Structure 1
Protein backbone atom coordinates (compact mmCIF):
# COMPACT_ATOMS: atom_id res chain seq x y z
CA UNK A 1 0.00 0.00 0.00
CA UNK A 2 2.91 2.37 0.63
CA UNK A 3 3.76 2.50 -3.09
CA UNK A 4 0.33 3.71 -4.16
CA UNK A 5 -0.20 7.43 -4.84
CA UNK A 6 -2.63 9.45 -2.77
CA UNK A 7 -6.04 9.77 -4.37
CA UNK A 8 -8.40 12.74 -4.12
CA UNK A 9 -11.56 10.95 -5.24
CA UNK A 10 -12.22 7.22 -5.46
CA UNK A 11 -15.49 5.95 -6.90
CA UNK A 12 -16.96 2.52 -6.21
CA UNK A 13 -19.60 2.18 -8.86
CA UNK A 14 -20.92 1.48 -12.31
CA UNK A 15 -19.87 1.71 -15.92
CA UNK A 16 -22.55 1.70 -18.64
CA UNK A 17 -22.43 1.86 -22.40
CA UNK A 18 -24.81 4.71 -23.30
CA UNK A 19 -26.98 4.15 -26.38
CA UNK A 20 -28.61 7.55 -26.86
CA UNK A 21 -31.60 8.18 -29.14
CA UNK A 22 -32.60 11.80 -29.72
CA UNK A 23 -36.33 12.17 -30.40
CA UNK A 24 -38.96 14.94 -30.58
CA UNK A 25 -40.64 13.56 -27.46
CA UNK A 26 -40.91 10.46 -25.25
CA UNK A 27 -42.87 7.75 -27.12
CA UNK A 28 -46.11 6.48 -25.62
CA UNK A 29 -46.45 2.74 -24.80
CA UNK A 30 -46.69 0.68 -28.00
CA UNK A 31 -45.66 3.59 -30.23
CA UNK A 32 -42.79 3.55 -32.73
CA UNK A 33 -41.30 7.01 -32.96
CA UNK A 34 -38.78 8.18 -35.56
CA UNK A 35 -35.75 9.72 -33.86
CA UNK A 36 -33.49 12.46 -35.19
CA UNK A 37 -30.03 11.05 -34.31
CA UNK A 38 -28.15 8.38 -32.36
CA UNK A 39 -24.94 8.40 -30.33
CA UNK A 40 -22.91 5.71 -28.59
CA UNK A 41 -21.25 7.02 -25.45
CA UNK A 42 -19.67 6.21 -22.11
CA UNK A 43 -21.84 6.39 -19.01
CA UNK A 44 -22.85 4.72 -15.76
CA UNK A 45 -23.22 6.84 -12.66
CA UNK A 46 -19.97 5.68 -11.09
CA UNK A 47 -17.78 6.33 -14.11
CA UNK A 48 -19.64 9.58 -14.87
CA UNK A 49 -18.91 10.96 -11.42
CA UNK A 50 -15.29 9.83 -11.61
CA UNK A 51 -14.77 11.46 -15.02
CA UNK A 52 -16.51 14.66 -13.89
CA UNK A 53 -14.11 14.99 -10.94
CA UNK A 54 -11.07 14.08 -13.07
CA UNK A 55 -11.94 16.73 -15.68
CA UNK A 56 -11.78 19.33 -12.90
CA UNK A 57 -8.29 18.22 -11.91
CA UNK A 58 -8.86 15.68 -9.13
CA UNK A 59 -6.67 12.58 -8.90
CA UNK A 60 -9.24 9.84 -9.36
CA UNK A 61 -9.51 6.06 -9.11
CA UNK A 62 -12.40 3.81 -10.11
CA UNK A 63 -13.44 0.45 -8.64
CA UNK A 64 -15.83 -1.15 -11.11
CA UNK A 65 -16.64 -4.16 -13.31
CA UNK A 66 -16.83 -4.18 -17.11
CA UNK A 67 -17.51 -7.10 -19.40
CA UNK A 68 -14.54 -8.56 -21.26
CA UNK A 69 -16.16 -7.58 -24.55
CA UNK A 70 -15.58 -4.99 -27.25
CA UNK A 71 -17.54 -2.38 -25.28
CA UNK A 72 -15.67 -3.04 -22.03
CA UNK A 73 -12.22 -2.98 -23.60
CA UNK A 74 -12.96 0.27 -25.41
CA UNK A 75 -14.37 1.81 -22.23
CA UNK A 76 -11.26 0.86 -20.27
CA UNK A 77 -9.07 2.72 -22.76
CA UNK A 78 -11.38 5.72 -22.53
CA UNK A 79 -11.01 5.82 -18.73
CA UNK A 80 -7.22 5.60 -19.02
CA UNK A 81 -7.31 8.49 -21.47
CA UNK A 82 -9.25 10.53 -18.90
CA UNK A 83 -6.35 10.07 -16.47
CA UNK A 84 -8.24 7.76 -14.13
CA UNK A 85 -6.51 4.98 -12.15
CA UNK A 86 -8.20 1.83 -13.54
CA UNK A 87 -6.12 -0.92 -11.96
CA UNK A 88 -9.18 -1.94 -9.92
CA UNK A 89 -11.60 -2.04 -12.86
CA UNK A 90 -12.07 -5.75 -13.55
CA UNK A 91 -13.04 -7.34 -16.84
CA UNK A 92 -15.61 -10.12 -16.41
CA UNK A 93 -16.09 -13.18 -18.61
CA UNK A 94 -19.43 -13.96 -16.92
CA UNK A 95 -21.53 -10.94 -17.93
CA UNK A 96 -21.62 -8.37 -20.72
CA UNK A 97 -20.82 -4.73 -20.01
CA UNK A 98 -23.68 -2.72 -18.55
CA UNK A 99 -25.95 -0.98 -21.05
CA UNK A 100 -28.08 2.17 -20.75
CA UNK A 101 -30.73 2.89 -23.38
CA UNK A 102 -31.40 6.64 -23.22
CA UNK A 103 -34.07 8.69 -24.98
CA UNK A 104 -33.51 12.45 -25.06
CA UNK A 105 -36.23 14.84 -26.22
CA UNK A 106 -35.95 18.18 -28.02
CA UNK A 107 -36.43 20.09 -24.74
CA UNK A 108 -33.61 18.18 -23.02
CA UNK A 109 -35.70 15.75 -20.96
CA UNK A 110 -34.68 12.12 -20.84
CA UNK A 111 -35.81 8.65 -19.85
CA UNK A 112 -33.39 5.78 -19.26
CA UNK A 113 -33.49 1.98 -19.08
CA UNK A 114 -30.40 0.24 -17.71
CA UNK A 115 -29.28 -3.39 -17.93
CA UNK A 116 -26.58 -3.73 -15.23
CA UNK A 117 -24.70 -6.68 -16.76
CA UNK A 118 -21.19 -6.90 -15.28
CA UNK A 119 -21.98 -4.16 -12.75
CA UNK A 120 -24.02 -6.70 -10.77
CA UNK A 121 -20.81 -8.68 -10.12
CA UNK A 122 -19.01 -5.94 -8.16
CA UNK A 123 -18.41 -7.46 -4.73
CA UNK A 124 -16.71 -6.81 -1.41
CA UNK A 125 -13.62 -8.76 -2.49
CA UNK A 126 -13.15 -6.18 -5.25
CA UNK A 127 -13.40 -3.41 -2.65
CA UNK A 128 -10.83 -5.01 -0.36
CA UNK A 129 -8.44 -5.55 -3.26
CA UNK A 130 -8.63 -1.81 -3.86
CA UNK A 131 -7.72 -0.75 -0.34
CA UNK A 132 -4.38 0.57 -1.61
CA UNK A 133 -6.31 3.47 -3.15
CA UNK A 134 -9.49 3.54 -1.06
CA UNK A 135 -7.72 3.91 2.28
CA UNK A 136 -5.69 6.82 0.89
CA UNK A 137 -8.61 8.63 -0.72
CA UNK A 138 -9.96 11.90 0.62
CA UNK A 139 -13.46 11.24 -0.75
CA UNK A 140 -15.12 7.95 -1.75
CA UNK A 141 -18.32 8.07 -3.79
CA UNK A 142 -21.08 5.43 -4.13
CA UNK A 143 -24.29 5.04 -6.16
CA UNK A 144 -26.87 2.24 -6.49
CA UNK A 145 -26.22 0.80 -9.97
CA UNK A 146 -24.05 -1.88 -8.33
CA UNK A 147 -25.21 -4.33 -5.61
CA UNK A 148 -26.63 -2.59 -2.54
CA UNK A 149 -25.02 -5.21 -0.28
CA UNK A 150 -21.59 -4.31 -1.66
CA UNK A 151 -22.26 -0.62 -1.08
CA UNK A 152 -23.27 -1.12 2.56
CA UNK A 153 -20.36 -3.48 3.27
CA UNK A 154 -17.92 -1.03 1.69
CA UNK A 155 -19.33 1.88 3.71
CA UNK A 156 -18.82 -0.17 6.89
CA UNK A 157 -15.29 -1.09 5.81
CA UNK A 158 -14.30 2.51 5.12
CA UNK A 159 -15.92 3.75 8.31
CA UNK A 160 -13.78 1.32 10.34
CA UNK A 161 -10.51 1.65 8.41
CA UNK A 162 -10.50 4.81 6.33
CA UNK A 163 -10.43 8.54 7.04
CA UNK A 164 -12.34 9.63 3.96
CA UNK A 165 -15.56 11.52 3.46
CA UNK A 166 -18.18 9.23 1.92
CA UNK A 167 -20.88 10.39 -0.50
CA UNK A 168 -23.83 8.13 -1.25
CA UNK A 169 -25.74 9.18 -4.34
CA UNK A 170 -28.77 6.92 -3.78
CA UNK A 171 -29.60 6.60 -7.48
CA UNK A 172 -31.49 4.88 -8.85
CA UNK A 173 -33.63 4.78 -5.70
CA UNK A 174 -33.90 1.31 -4.18
CA UNK A 175 -36.71 0.05 -1.97
CA UNK A 176 -34.14 -2.39 -0.58
CA UNK A 177 -31.87 0.34 0.76
CA UNK A 178 -31.12 -0.67 4.35
CA UNK A 179 -31.06 1.74 7.26
CA UNK A 180 -27.28 1.34 7.55
CA UNK A 181 -26.77 3.07 4.20
CA UNK A 182 -28.32 6.28 5.53
CA UNK A 183 -26.36 6.13 8.77
CA UNK A 184 -22.95 5.21 7.38
CA UNK A 185 -22.74 7.78 4.57
CA UNK A 186 -21.39 11.22 5.46
CA UNK A 187 -23.30 12.94 2.64
CA UNK A 188 -26.57 11.55 1.28
CA UNK A 189 -27.49 12.98 -2.13
CA UNK A 190 -30.60 12.37 -4.28
CA UNK A 191 -32.70 14.18 -6.87
CA UNK A 192 -36.35 15.06 -6.36
CA UNK A 193 -37.67 11.81 -7.85
CA UNK A 194 -35.38 9.62 -5.74
CA UNK A 195 -36.14 11.71 -2.65
CA UNK A 196 -39.85 11.15 -3.17
CA UNK A 197 -39.48 7.42 -3.73
CA UNK A 198 -37.39 6.95 -0.59
CA UNK A 199 -39.22 9.39 1.69
CA UNK A 200 -42.67 8.24 0.60
CA UNK A 201 -44.13 11.47 -0.77
CA UNK A 202 -43.86 13.55 -3.96
CA UNK A 203 -41.04 16.11 -3.92
CA UNK A 204 -41.47 19.09 -6.24
CA UNK A 205 -40.44 22.23 -4.33
CA UNK A 206 -38.73 23.61 -1.24
CA UNK A 207 -41.53 22.70 1.17
CA UNK A 208 -41.82 19.08 0.02
CA UNK A 209 -38.02 18.81 -0.10
CA UNK A 210 -37.81 20.06 3.50
CA UNK A 211 -40.21 17.29 4.49
CA UNK A 212 -37.96 14.74 2.74
CA UNK A 213 -34.89 16.16 4.45
CA UNK A 214 -36.63 15.68 7.81
CA UNK A 215 -37.31 12.05 6.92
CA UNK A 216 -33.70 11.39 5.92
CA UNK A 217 -32.43 13.03 9.08
CA UNK A 218 -34.86 10.90 11.14
CA UNK A 219 -33.33 7.68 9.75
CA UNK A 220 -29.78 8.72 10.51
CA UNK A 221 -28.45 10.89 7.68
CA UNK A 222 -25.89 13.50 8.69
CA UNK A 223 -25.85 15.77 5.65
CA UNK A 224 -28.59 15.66 3.01
CA UNK A 225 -28.63 17.19 -0.49
CA UNK A 226 -31.71 17.11 -2.72
CA UNK A 227 -31.34 18.44 -6.26
CA UNK A 228 -34.53 19.87 -7.80
CA UNK A 229 -33.36 20.53 -11.36
CA UNK A 230 -34.23 24.07 -12.48
CA UNK A 231 -35.84 24.72 -9.06
CA UNK A 232 -32.45 24.58 -7.34
CA UNK A 233 -30.98 22.58 -4.49
CA UNK A 234 -32.07 21.97 -0.91
CA UNK A 235 -29.44 20.90 1.61
CA UNK A 236 -29.06 20.44 5.32
CA UNK A 237 -25.82 19.68 7.13
CA UNK A 238 -25.39 18.63 10.74
CA UNK A 239 -25.50 22.22 11.99
CA UNK A 240 -28.70 23.73 10.65
CA UNK A 241 -32.11 23.76 9.00
CA UNK A 242 -32.70 23.07 5.29
CA UNK A 243 -31.36 25.75 2.95
CA UNK A 244 -32.66 26.41 -0.56
CA UNK A 245 -30.13 27.46 -3.20
CA UNK A 246 -31.30 28.68 -6.63
CA UNK A 247 -29.52 27.69 -9.86
CA UNK A 248 -28.96 29.52 -13.13
CA UNK A 249 -31.91 29.64 -15.52
CA UNK A 250 -30.94 28.11 -18.87
CA UNK A 251 -32.49 26.46 -21.90
CA UNK A 252 -31.40 22.82 -21.54
CA UNK A 253 -29.95 20.86 -24.44
CA UNK A 254 -29.46 17.47 -22.76
CA UNK A 255 -29.87 16.85 -19.03
CA UNK A 256 -28.44 13.30 -19.16
CA UNK A 257 -25.80 12.86 -16.47
CA UNK A 258 -26.21 16.32 -14.96
CA UNK A 259 -26.72 14.85 -11.49
CA UNK A 260 -23.48 12.91 -11.86
CA UNK A 261 -21.68 16.09 -12.92
CA UNK A 262 -22.90 17.67 -9.68
CA UNK A 263 -21.74 14.75 -7.49
CA UNK A 264 -18.36 14.54 -9.23
CA UNK A 265 -17.83 18.28 -8.84
CA UNK A 266 -18.84 18.14 -5.17
CA UNK A 267 -16.31 15.33 -4.59
CA UNK A 268 -13.69 17.49 -6.29
CA UNK A 269 -14.37 20.50 -4.05
CA UNK A 270 -14.48 18.48 -0.84
CA UNK A 271 -11.17 16.81 -1.67
CA UNK A 272 -9.28 19.72 -3.22
CA UNK A 273 -10.83 22.75 -1.51
CA UNK A 274 -11.90 21.39 1.88
CA UNK A 275 -11.77 24.82 3.55
CA UNK A 276 -14.37 26.25 1.18
CA UNK A 277 -17.74 26.68 2.97
CA UNK A 278 -20.09 23.80 2.21
CA UNK A 279 -22.64 26.20 0.73
CA UNK A 280 -20.03 27.44 -1.75
CA UNK A 281 -18.99 23.88 -2.60
CA UNK A 282 -22.61 23.08 -3.46
CA UNK A 283 -23.20 26.28 -5.43
CA UNK A 284 -20.06 25.84 -7.50
CA UNK A 285 -20.91 22.18 -8.15
CA UNK A 286 -24.38 23.25 -9.30
CA UNK A 287 -22.83 25.77 -11.70
CA UNK A 288 -20.72 23.00 -13.25
CA UNK A 289 -23.70 20.62 -13.50
CA UNK A 290 -25.73 23.35 -15.21
CA UNK A 291 -22.89 23.87 -17.68
CA UNK A 292 -23.11 20.18 -18.64
CA UNK A 293 -26.82 20.54 -19.52
CA UNK A 294 -25.88 23.00 -22.27
CA UNK A 295 -24.13 20.23 -24.25
CA UNK A 296 -25.21 16.89 -25.70
CA UNK A 297 -24.02 13.57 -24.32
CA UNK A 298 -23.03 12.43 -20.87
CA UNK A 299 -19.32 12.44 -20.01
CA UNK A 300 -18.61 14.37 -23.20
CA UNK A 301 -20.75 17.22 -21.85
CA UNK A 302 -18.72 17.66 -18.67
CA UNK A 303 -16.51 20.76 -18.69
CA UNK A 304 -12.82 20.79 -17.87
CA UNK A 305 -11.35 23.22 -15.37
CA UNK A 306 -9.94 25.28 -18.24
CA UNK A 307 -13.41 25.71 -19.78
CA UNK A 308 -14.90 27.17 -16.60
CA UNK A 309 -14.67 30.64 -14.99
CA UNK A 310 -11.54 30.99 -12.86
CA UNK A 311 -13.57 32.28 -9.90
CA UNK A 312 -15.09 28.81 -9.49
CA UNK A 313 -11.69 27.66 -8.25
CA UNK A 314 -10.76 30.60 -6.04
CA UNK A 315 -10.31 29.79 -2.36
Structure 2
Protein backbone atom coordinates (compact mmCIF):
# COMPACT_ATOMS: atom_id res chain seq x y z
CA UNK A 1 0.00 0.00 0.00
CA UNK A 2 1.07 3.57 -0.64
CA UNK A 3 2.29 5.68 2.27
CA UNK A 4 -0.49 8.11 3.25
CA UNK A 5 -0.98 10.87 5.79
CA UNK A 6 -2.61 9.31 8.87
CA UNK A 7 -6.16 10.06 9.84
CA UNK A 8 -7.95 10.65 6.56
CA UNK A 9 -11.52 9.59 5.78
CA UNK A 10 -11.65 6.86 3.13
CA UNK A 11 -14.73 6.54 0.93
CA UNK A 12 -15.47 3.70 -1.45
CA UNK A 13 -18.57 4.41 -3.47
CA UNK A 14 -20.38 5.83 -6.44
CA UNK A 15 -19.45 8.71 -8.71
CA UNK A 16 -22.24 10.22 -10.80
CA UNK A 17 -23.23 13.33 -12.67
CA UNK A 18 -26.61 14.68 -11.57
CA UNK A 19 -29.27 16.23 -13.80
CA UNK A 20 -31.67 18.17 -11.55
CA UNK A 21 -35.10 19.51 -12.51
CA UNK A 22 -37.10 21.84 -10.24
CA UNK A 23 -40.88 21.70 -10.47
CA UNK A 24 -43.93 22.96 -8.57
CA UNK A 25 -45.13 19.38 -7.97
CA UNK A 26 -44.14 15.90 -9.02
CA UNK A 27 -45.74 14.94 -12.34
CA UNK A 28 -48.62 12.50 -12.37
CA UNK A 29 -48.53 9.48 -14.70
CA UNK A 30 -48.98 10.71 -18.25
CA UNK A 31 -48.52 14.37 -17.33
CA UNK A 32 -46.19 16.65 -19.31
CA UNK A 33 -45.04 19.75 -17.47
CA UNK A 34 -42.55 22.58 -17.73
CA UNK A 35 -39.69 22.71 -15.25
CA UNK A 36 -38.63 25.91 -13.52
CA UNK A 37 -34.91 25.28 -13.65
CA UNK A 38 -32.34 22.62 -14.52
CA UNK A 39 -28.79 22.12 -13.32
CA UNK A 40 -26.01 19.63 -13.97
CA UNK A 41 -23.32 18.84 -11.44
CA UNK A 42 -21.40 16.21 -9.46
CA UNK A 43 -23.33 13.50 -7.66
CA UNK A 44 -23.34 9.89 -6.51
CA UNK A 45 -23.30 9.08 -2.83
CA UNK A 46 -19.59 8.35 -2.76
CA UNK A 47 -18.63 11.59 -4.49
CA UNK A 48 -21.19 13.63 -2.53
CA UNK A 49 -19.84 12.36 0.76
CA UNK A 50 -16.24 12.93 -0.30
CA UNK A 51 -16.88 16.54 -1.30
CA UNK A 52 -18.86 17.12 1.90
CA UNK A 53 -16.00 15.77 4.04
CA UNK A 54 -13.51 17.98 2.19
CA UNK A 55 -15.73 21.05 2.76
CA UNK A 56 -15.49 20.33 6.48
CA UNK A 57 -11.69 20.57 6.29
CA UNK A 58 -10.93 16.85 6.71
CA UNK A 59 -8.49 14.99 4.43
CA UNK A 60 -10.49 12.57 2.28
CA UNK A 61 -9.69 9.98 -0.37
CA UNK A 62 -12.27 8.48 -2.72
CA UNK A 63 -12.08 5.09 -4.44
CA UNK A 64 -14.54 4.07 -7.13
CA UNK A 65 -15.01 3.94 -10.88
CA UNK A 66 -16.17 6.24 -13.64
CA UNK A 67 -16.42 5.80 -17.38
CA UNK A 68 -14.24 7.25 -20.11
CA UNK A 69 -17.06 9.44 -21.49
CA UNK A 70 -17.29 13.29 -21.38
CA UNK A 71 -19.28 13.16 -18.13
CA UNK A 72 -16.26 11.66 -16.37
CA UNK A 73 -14.37 14.92 -16.70
CA UNK A 74 -17.27 16.82 -15.13
CA UNK A 75 -17.09 14.54 -12.10
CA UNK A 76 -13.30 14.51 -11.90
CA UNK A 77 -13.04 18.31 -12.09
CA UNK A 78 -15.61 18.74 -9.31
CA UNK A 79 -13.78 16.31 -7.04
CA UNK A 80 -10.42 17.91 -7.72
CA UNK A 81 -11.76 21.44 -7.17
CA UNK A 82 -13.17 20.36 -3.80
CA UNK A 83 -9.85 18.93 -2.67
CA UNK A 84 -10.84 15.27 -2.79
CA UNK A 85 -8.06 12.76 -3.41
CA UNK A 86 -8.87 10.70 -6.51
CA UNK A 87 -5.84 8.53 -7.19
CA UNK A 88 -7.85 5.40 -6.38
CA UNK A 89 -10.65 6.27 -8.80
CA UNK A 90 -10.61 3.78 -11.67
CA UNK A 91 -11.64 4.38 -15.30
CA UNK A 92 -13.73 1.74 -17.06
CA UNK A 93 -12.63 1.75 -20.67
CA UNK A 94 -15.69 2.02 -22.89
CA UNK A 95 -17.92 2.50 -19.87
CA UNK A 96 -20.39 5.25 -19.05
CA UNK A 97 -20.12 7.41 -15.94
CA UNK A 98 -23.03 6.97 -13.54
CA UNK A 99 -25.82 9.50 -13.76
CA UNK A 100 -28.84 10.49 -11.71
CA UNK A 101 -32.04 12.22 -12.79
CA UNK A 102 -33.46 14.22 -9.88
CA UNK A 103 -36.78 16.04 -9.60
CA UNK A 104 -37.25 18.51 -6.72
CA UNK A 105 -40.66 20.00 -5.86
CA UNK A 106 -41.59 23.21 -4.05
CA UNK A 107 -41.72 21.38 -0.72
CA UNK A 108 -38.05 20.46 -1.06
CA UNK A 109 -38.87 16.77 -1.57
CA UNK A 110 -37.07 14.80 -4.25
CA UNK A 111 -37.48 11.82 -6.53
CA UNK A 112 -34.32 10.25 -7.92
CA UNK A 113 -33.65 7.81 -10.75
CA UNK A 114 -30.09 6.45 -10.91
CA UNK A 115 -28.25 4.69 -13.72
CA UNK A 116 -25.19 3.14 -12.10
CA UNK A 117 -23.06 2.79 -15.22
CA UNK A 118 -19.39 2.27 -14.35
CA UNK A 119 -20.22 2.20 -10.62
CA UNK A 120 -22.03 -1.11 -11.01
CA UNK A 121 -19.35 -2.57 -13.27
CA UNK A 122 -16.84 -2.96 -10.42
CA UNK A 123 -15.59 -6.55 -10.08
CA UNK A 124 -14.10 -8.46 -7.13
CA UNK A 125 -10.76 -8.37 -8.94
CA UNK A 126 -10.84 -4.58 -8.51
CA UNK A 127 -10.96 -4.78 -4.71
CA UNK A 128 -7.17 -4.85 -4.04
CA UNK A 129 -6.76 -1.60 -5.93
CA UNK A 130 -9.75 0.03 -4.26
CA UNK A 131 -8.64 -1.13 -0.80
CA UNK A 132 -5.42 0.87 -1.07
CA UNK A 133 -7.55 3.85 -0.03
CA UNK A 134 -7.71 2.34 3.48
CA UNK A 135 -4.01 2.76 4.22
CA UNK A 136 -3.78 5.29 7.06
CA UNK A 137 -7.54 5.88 7.24
CA UNK A 138 -9.39 6.32 10.52
CA UNK A 139 -12.88 6.04 9.06
CA UNK A 140 -14.35 4.23 6.04
CA UNK A 141 -17.65 5.31 4.48
CA UNK A 142 -19.58 3.00 2.15
CA UNK A 143 -23.03 3.07 0.51
CA UNK A 144 -25.05 0.77 -1.73
CA UNK A 145 -24.59 2.40 -5.15
CA UNK A 146 -21.84 -0.06 -6.09
CA UNK A 147 -22.16 -3.89 -6.09
CA UNK A 148 -22.95 -5.21 -2.62
CA UNK A 149 -20.23 -7.87 -2.73
CA UNK A 150 -17.63 -5.16 -3.32
CA UNK A 151 -18.91 -3.25 -0.28
CA UNK A 152 -18.65 -6.36 1.90
CA UNK A 153 -15.10 -7.14 0.75
CA UNK A 154 -13.94 -3.57 1.40
CA UNK A 155 -15.54 -3.57 4.86
CA UNK A 156 -13.86 -6.90 5.64
CA UNK A 157 -10.49 -5.33 4.96
CA UNK A 158 -11.31 -2.21 6.96
CA UNK A 159 -12.39 -4.29 9.96
CA UNK A 160 -9.10 -6.19 9.81
CA UNK A 161 -7.32 -2.83 10.22
CA UNK A 162 -9.58 -1.61 13.08
CA UNK A 163 -11.00 1.21 10.93
CA UNK A 164 -14.36 2.70 11.94
CA UNK A 165 -16.89 1.64 9.30
CA UNK A 166 -19.92 3.82 8.51
CA UNK A 167 -22.46 1.97 6.39
CA UNK A 168 -25.08 4.15 4.70
CA UNK A 169 -27.53 1.46 3.50
CA UNK A 170 -28.85 3.58 0.65
CA UNK A 171 -30.38 2.69 -1.63
CA UNK A 172 -31.50 -0.56 -0.03
CA UNK A 173 -31.37 -3.26 -2.75
CA UNK A 174 -34.67 -5.07 -3.49
CA UNK A 175 -33.36 -8.18 -1.72
CA UNK A 176 -31.94 -6.20 1.20
CA UNK A 177 -28.34 -5.67 2.15
CA UNK A 178 -25.97 -8.59 2.84
CA UNK A 179 -26.16 -9.97 6.37
CA UNK A 180 -22.42 -9.50 6.72
CA UNK A 181 -22.78 -5.72 6.60
CA UNK A 182 -24.81 -5.68 9.82
CA UNK A 183 -21.94 -7.27 11.70
CA UNK A 184 -19.18 -5.41 9.86
CA UNK A 185 -20.69 -1.96 10.38
CA UNK A 186 -19.41 0.08 13.30
CA UNK A 187 -22.23 2.52 12.53
CA UNK A 188 -25.27 2.15 10.27
CA UNK A 189 -27.20 5.29 9.29
CA UNK A 190 -30.55 4.54 7.61
CA UNK A 191 -33.22 7.18 7.03
CA UNK A 192 -36.93 6.51 7.62
CA UNK A 193 -37.53 4.64 4.35
CA UNK A 194 -34.37 2.58 4.65
CA UNK A 195 -35.10 1.79 8.29
CA UNK A 196 -38.52 0.44 7.36
CA UNK A 197 -37.01 -1.64 4.54
CA UNK A 198 -34.39 -3.13 6.89
CA UNK A 199 -36.50 -3.64 10.03
CA UNK A 200 -40.17 -3.44 9.08
CA UNK A 201 -40.55 -0.47 11.46
CA UNK A 202 -41.28 3.04 10.14
CA UNK A 203 -39.63 5.42 12.61
CA UNK A 204 -41.69 8.53 13.35
CA UNK A 205 -40.43 9.41 16.83
CA UNK A 206 -37.80 8.39 19.37
CA UNK A 207 -39.79 5.38 20.60
CA UNK A 208 -40.35 3.84 17.17
CA UNK A 209 -36.76 4.66 16.21
CA UNK A 210 -35.56 2.85 19.32
CA UNK A 211 -37.61 -0.21 18.35
CA UNK A 212 -36.04 -0.19 14.88
CA UNK A 213 -32.56 0.32 16.31
CA UNK A 214 -33.03 -2.67 18.62
CA UNK A 215 -33.72 -4.83 15.58
CA UNK A 216 -30.56 -3.56 13.90
CA UNK A 217 -28.56 -4.30 17.07
CA UNK A 218 -30.02 -7.78 17.08
CA UNK A 219 -28.67 -8.28 13.57
CA UNK A 220 -25.19 -7.22 14.68
CA UNK A 221 -25.00 -3.44 14.23
CA UNK A 222 -22.83 -1.88 16.92
CA UNK A 223 -24.25 1.66 16.65
CA UNK A 224 -27.55 2.51 14.92
CA UNK A 225 -28.34 6.06 13.86
CA UNK A 226 -31.91 6.54 12.64
CA UNK A 227 -32.31 9.70 10.55
CA UNK A 228 -35.89 11.02 10.57
CA UNK A 229 -35.46 14.29 8.68
CA UNK A 230 -37.57 17.05 10.25
CA UNK A 231 -38.37 14.72 13.18
CA UNK A 232 -34.78 14.56 14.38
CA UNK A 233 -32.17 11.82 14.81
CA UNK A 234 -32.11 8.88 17.23
CA UNK A 235 -28.91 6.99 18.01
CA UNK A 236 -28.12 4.00 20.17
CA UNK A 237 -25.40 1.46 20.80
CA UNK A 238 -25.63 -2.25 21.43
CA UNK A 239 -24.62 -1.76 25.08
CA UNK A 240 -27.75 0.33 25.75
CA UNK A 241 -26.51 3.92 25.44
CA UNK A 242 -28.84 6.15 23.41
CA UNK A 243 -29.71 9.73 22.59
CA UNK A 244 -31.96 11.93 20.51
CA UNK A 245 -31.05 15.06 18.55
CA UNK A 246 -34.07 17.30 17.86
CA UNK A 247 -34.32 18.93 14.43
CA UNK A 248 -32.52 22.21 13.81
CA UNK A 249 -34.61 25.27 12.98
CA UNK A 250 -33.78 25.82 9.31
CA UNK A 251 -35.82 26.62 6.21
CA UNK A 252 -35.54 23.56 3.97
CA UNK A 253 -35.75 24.02 0.21
CA UNK A 254 -34.06 20.85 -1.08
CA UNK A 255 -33.37 17.57 0.72
CA UNK A 256 -31.07 16.16 -1.98
CA UNK A 257 -27.81 14.87 -0.42
CA UNK A 258 -28.79 15.88 3.13
CA UNK A 259 -28.06 12.30 4.19
CA UNK A 260 -24.67 12.40 2.49
CA UNK A 261 -23.77 15.61 4.32
CA UNK A 262 -24.95 14.03 7.59
CA UNK A 263 -22.62 11.10 6.97
CA UNK A 264 -19.74 13.43 6.15
CA UNK A 265 -20.19 15.30 9.41
CA UNK A 266 -20.34 12.04 11.34
CA UNK A 267 -17.17 10.75 9.67
CA UNK A 268 -15.32 13.99 10.28
CA UNK A 269 -16.10 13.92 14.00
CA UNK A 270 -15.44 10.21 14.52
CA UNK A 271 -12.13 10.54 12.67
CA UNK A 272 -11.25 13.33 15.11
CA UNK A 273 -12.07 11.08 18.07
CA UNK A 274 -15.29 12.79 19.17
CA UNK A 275 -17.79 10.87 21.34
CA UNK A 276 -20.85 9.54 19.53
CA UNK A 277 -23.41 11.97 20.94
CA UNK A 278 -21.34 14.97 19.90
CA UNK A 279 -20.62 13.44 16.50
CA UNK A 280 -24.32 12.80 15.83
CA UNK A 281 -25.32 16.36 16.75
CA UNK A 282 -22.60 17.75 14.47
CA UNK A 283 -23.76 15.44 11.69
CA UNK A 284 -27.37 16.51 12.16
CA UNK A 285 -26.33 20.14 11.79
CA UNK A 286 -24.52 19.29 8.53
CA UNK A 287 -27.61 17.54 7.19
CA UNK A 288 -29.88 20.42 8.20
CA UNK A 289 -27.71 23.02 6.49
CA UNK A 290 -27.63 20.94 3.30
CA UNK A 291 -31.42 21.28 3.02
CA UNK A 292 -31.20 25.08 2.95
CA UNK A 293 -29.57 25.27 -0.48
CA UNK A 294 -30.09 23.53 -3.82
CA UNK A 295 -27.94 20.80 -5.30
CA UNK A 296 -26.24 17.64 -4.14
CA UNK A 297 -22.50 18.02 -3.54
CA UNK A 298 -22.88 21.77 -4.00
CA UNK A 299 -25.15 21.91 -0.93
CA UNK A 300 -22.46 20.68 1.47
CA UNK A 301 -21.72 23.18 4.28
CA UNK A 302 -18.34 24.38 5.51
CA UNK A 303 -17.05 23.75 9.02
CA UNK A 304 -17.57 27.42 9.88
CA UNK A 305 -21.23 27.26 8.83
CA UNK A 306 -21.79 24.16 10.93
CA UNK A 307 -20.19 25.70 14.00
CA UNK A 308 -22.34 28.81 13.58
CA UNK A 309 -25.53 26.75 13.49
CA UNK A 310 -24.46 24.70 16.52
CA UNK A 311 -23.74 27.90 18.44
CA UNK A 312 -27.24 29.24 17.68
CA UNK A 313 -29.15 26.14 18.79
Normalising by structure 2, we get a TM-score of 0.94
Equivalent in the alignment of 1:39: 39
Equivalent in the alignment of 1:225: 225
Instruction: Describe the SS at the equivalent of 1:190.
Output: coil
Q: Structure 2 matches for 1:82-231, cutoff 5 A?
A: 82-160=82-160, 162-174=161-173, 175-231=175-231
Count of residue pairs brought into register by the alignment: 310
Instruction: Describe the SS at the equivalent of 1:183.
Output: helix
Q: Distance in 2 between matches of 1:192 and 1:229?
A: 8
Displacement of 1:311 in angstroms is 8.6
Instruction: Describe the SS at the equivalent of 1:5.
Output: coil
After superposition, the Cα gap between the structure-2 partners of 1:308 and 1:221, relative to the gap in structure 1 and judged at 3 Å, is closer
Displacement of 1:34 in angstroms is 1.5
Q: Distance in 2 between matches of 1:208 and 1:311?
A: 28
User: Is residue 98–residue 118 contact of structure 1 (8 Å, CA) maintained in 2?
Assistant: yes
After superposition, the Cα gap between the structure-2 partners of 1:184 and 1:33, relative to the gap in structure 1 and judged at 3 Å, is same
Displacement of 1:179 in angstroms is 1.1
Instruction: Describe the SS at the equivalent of 2:190.
Output: strand
Q: Distance in 1 between matches of 2:307 and 2:147?
A: 38
User: Is residue 63–residue 127 contact of structure 1 (8 Å, CA) maintained in 2?
Assistant: no
User: Is residue 88–residue 132 contact of structure 2 (8 Å, CA) maintained in 1?
Assistant: no
In structure 2, runs of 5+ residues without a counterpart are none
Displacement of 1:310 in angstroms is 5.8
1:27 maps to 2:27: yes
User: Is residue 9–residue 140 contact of structure 1 (8 Å, CA) maintained in 2?
Assistant: yes
Q: Distance in 2 between matches of 1:122 and 1:265?
A: 27
Displacement of 1:93 in angstroms is 2.0
Q: Distance in 1 between matches of 2:23 and 2:126?
A: 39
